[in-house]
């Protein structure tokens, strides 16, 4: 007990020197603790990212598997436009009804053997414009528009994976629901066009609608050959370029039909067969009964999609794990350097202290203090300095760990996401323990050296 008190008084006797070393040591401890907290937070964030991505990938695969039993049907004039996209139809006062499928046809298809469900949609383009250009013997046609109205069947009895007529990635608000007769969901790119967001009212073809949601599909554009299977089939070779922006306005099918004066008409049907094995026969039956319609099975274009999703998932997981490994490696290097600096600081302080107190050491030995007692006292002094620096460092880390951890590990760049760093009680105890160990290790040699001082030489030291 006397050794502990005496060691503590010796530390306090040199307040300025002790405080200076403690502050530098505190920074090392703060960096050490913040780095460990940052690595732990990065692990948690990475685990959550991979969990979400795996869940999303699995949902996509399941949705794709469900679509294997789906058949898409579009009006005859939709041929060549791809994915049932209708060509420009002018204004609501002059619809081109040949682009649409009458309800008598939909009722007949719905009654066919093997059909277990059906979703209709109505697509109408507003402000459509087609421009063409030629260069180097080639020809290019560009299609643009203000926005596209999409009337969708809203049927809560259908599984969400089958209801492909509605947008999936809702970023603000909610999706359409049954009973939303005066509501719309708009694309991200239309917020500026309408100068409106969730809760605002937009005017569509002279009628006001409340915006209940905003979607984003992260689409860009695609090119489709004009006049044939390949660009070379068109004289001079050419492509039609379609801007795939988020410029769709989704509303209920009935609302769209009434708005466009197209009651009972749809531009696209998604028919669900009882199972994927019945799809081919059902496609043949529909095509035979209605040769002017464009009929194709989703399974014909989804072949191998699940495998590609799994491969992409494995690639992303592998990359994420490599990024996390980089963060952990950097974190280990930072904590190791911090610990070494802390030990060296204590070593320097205690080594200088031993040299400065040589005469005092000789006096203690002359009074009968053993080598072990001398060594213990100096090690305890180093331990005190480590604990003081550790306590100050923990206070710094508690306030600035988020900033320090993110900055030191550069998690935003490495992991591609911001990481919320917080110091746990366990991490704080670890930091304090490391600081104490650094104090003990740093004072080990100086304390041993002090214990080896000869009393006679020490007393002769000026």
Instruction: State the Cα–Cα distance between residues 302 and 304, nearest whole angstrom.
Output: 6
Instruction: State the Cα–Cα distance between residues 254 and 151, nearest whole angstrom.
Output: 7
The answer to whether residues 419 and 45 touch, using CB atoms and an 8 Å cutoff, is: yes
Q: What is the mean pLDDT of residues 377-401?
A: 81
Task: From residue 105, give the alpha-carbon distance in Å to each of 66, 108, 120, 156.
Answer: 24, 5, 12, 23
In degrees and rounded to multiples of 5, residue 158 shows phi and psi of: -85, 145
pLDDT at residue 319 is higher than 80:
no
pLDDT in tens, 77-101: 443 333 334 444 433 343 334 578 8
Would 93 be classed as within a structural domain?
yes
pLDDT in tens, 212-261: 999 987 654 444 444 444 444 444 445 544 446 789 999 999 999 999 99
Range in 38-42, 52-56, 62-66 with the lowest mean pLDDT? 62-66
The answer to whether residues 437 and 390 touch, using CB atoms and an 8 Å cutoff, is: no
The answer to whether residues 423 and 445 belong to one domain is: yes
Other C-beta atoms closer than 10 Å to the C-beta of 367 total 8
The answer to whether residues 73 and 215 belong to one domain is: yes
Strand partners, 124: 149
The answer to whether residues 266 and 346 belong to one domain is: no
Rg from Cα positions in the chain? 37
* CA-based nearest residue to 212, from 243, 257, 255: 255
- Tokens encoding 340: 């070494």
The answer to whether residues 370 and 295 belong to one domain is: no
* CA-based nearest residue to 33, from 410, 391, 437: 391
Choose the final residue of a domain: 301, 325, 350.
301
Within a 13 Å sphere around the CA of 211, how many CA atoms are in the beta-carbon half? Answer: 25
Percent of the chain with pLDDT over 70: 69
- Tokens encoding 361: 């050491």
pLDDT in tens, 126-160: 988 777 766 655 566 677 789 999 998 886 555 44
The answer to whether residues 232 and 328 belong to one domain is: no
pLDDT at residue 174 is higher than 80:
yes
The answer to whether residues 205 and 137 belong to one domain is: yes
Would 64 be classed as within a structural domain?
no
Other C-beta atoms closer than 10 Å to the C-beta of 284 total 11
Would 62 be classed as within a structural domain?
no
The answer to whether residues 353 and 434 belong to one domain is: yes
Instruction: State the Cα–Cα distance between residues 15 and 12, nearest whole angstrom.
Output: 5
What domain count does the chain have? 2
Other C-beta atoms closer than 10 Å to the C-beta of 61 total 17
pLDDT at residue 320 is higher than 80:
no
Would 63 be classed as within a structural domain?
no
Choose the final residue of a domain: 301, 330, 361.
301
The answer to whether residues 346 and 207 belong to one domain is: no
pLDDT for residue 364: 75
Would 396 be classed as within a structural domain?
yes
The answer to whether residues 165 and 121 belong to one domain is: yes
Choose the final residue of a domain: 254, 279, 301.
301
Would 264 be classed as within a structural domain?
yes
Instruction: State the Cα–Cα distance between residues 129 and 42, nearest whole angstrom.
Output: 49
Q: Look up the domain containing 350 and give its range.
A: 2-57+311-460
- Tokens encoding 196: 């409106």
pLDDT for residue 248: 93
Would 223 be classed as within a structural domain?
yes
The answer to whether residues 247 and 367 belong to one domain is: no
The answer to whether residues 256 and 375 belong to one domain is: no
The answer to whether residues 242 and 99 belong to one domain is: yes
Would 306 be classed as within a structural domain?
no
pLDDT at residue 369 is higher than 60:
yes
For CA atoms 156, 158, 161, 163, the dihedral sign is: negative
pTM assigned to the model: 0.48
């Amino acid at each position: 007990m006397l050794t502990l008190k005496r060691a503590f008084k010796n530390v306090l006797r040199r307040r300025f020197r002790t405080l200076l070393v403690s502050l530098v040591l505190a920074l090392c401890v703060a960096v050490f603790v913040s780095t460990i907290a940052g690595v732990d937070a990065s692990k948690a964030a990475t685990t959550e990212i991979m969990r979400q991505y795996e869940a999303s990938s699995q949902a996509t695969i399941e949705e794709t598997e469900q679509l294997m039993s789906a058949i898409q049907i579009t009006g005859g004039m939709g041929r060549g436009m791809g994915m049932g996209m209708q060509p420009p139809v002018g204004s609501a006062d002059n619809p081109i009804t040949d682009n649409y499928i009458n309800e008598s046809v939909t009722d007949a298809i719905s009654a066919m053997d093997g059909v277990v469900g059906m979703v209709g949609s109505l697509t109408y383009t507003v402000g459509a414009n087609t421009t063409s250009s030629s260069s180097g013997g080639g020809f290019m046609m560009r299609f643009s528009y203000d926005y596209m109205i999409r009337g969708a069947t809203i049927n809560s009895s259908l599984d969400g994976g089958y209801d492909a007529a509605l947008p999936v990635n809702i970023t603000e608000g909610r999706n359409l629901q049954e009973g939303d007769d005066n509501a719309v969901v708009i694309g991200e790119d239309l917020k500026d066009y309408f100068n409106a967001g969730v809760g605002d009212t937009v005017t569509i073809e002279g009628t006001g609608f409340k915006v209940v949601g905003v979607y984003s599909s992260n689409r860009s554009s695609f090119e489709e050959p004009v006049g044939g299977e390949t660009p070379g089939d068109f004289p001079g070779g050419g492509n039609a370029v379609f801007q795939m922006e988020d410029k769709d306005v989704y509303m209920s099918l009935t609302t769209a039909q009434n708005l466009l004066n197209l009651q009972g008409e749809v531009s696209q049907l998604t028919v669900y067969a009882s199972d994927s094995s019945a799809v081919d026969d059902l496609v043949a039956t529909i095509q035979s009964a209605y040769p002017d319609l464009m009929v194709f099975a989703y399974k014909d274009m989804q072949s191998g999609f699940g495998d590609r999703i799994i491969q992409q998932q494995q690639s992303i997981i592998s990359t994420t794990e490599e990024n996390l490994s980089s963060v952990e490696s950097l974190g280990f290097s930072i904590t190791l350097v911090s610990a070494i600096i802390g030990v060296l600081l204590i070593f320097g302080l205690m080594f200088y202290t031993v040299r400065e107190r040589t005469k005092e050491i000789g006096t203690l030995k002359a009074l009968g203090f053993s080598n072990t007692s001398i060594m213990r006292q100096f090690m305890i002094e180093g331990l005190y300095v480590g604990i003081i620096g550790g306590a100050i460092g923990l206070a710094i880390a508690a306030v600035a760990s988020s900033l320090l951890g993110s900055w030191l590990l550069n998690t935003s760049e490495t992991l591609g996401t911001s990481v919320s760093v917080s110091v746990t009680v366990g991490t704080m105890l670890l930091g304090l323990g490391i600081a104490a160990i650094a104090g003990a290790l740093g004072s080990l040699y100086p304390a041993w050296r002090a214990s080896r001082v000869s009393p006679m030489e020490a007393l002769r030291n000026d």
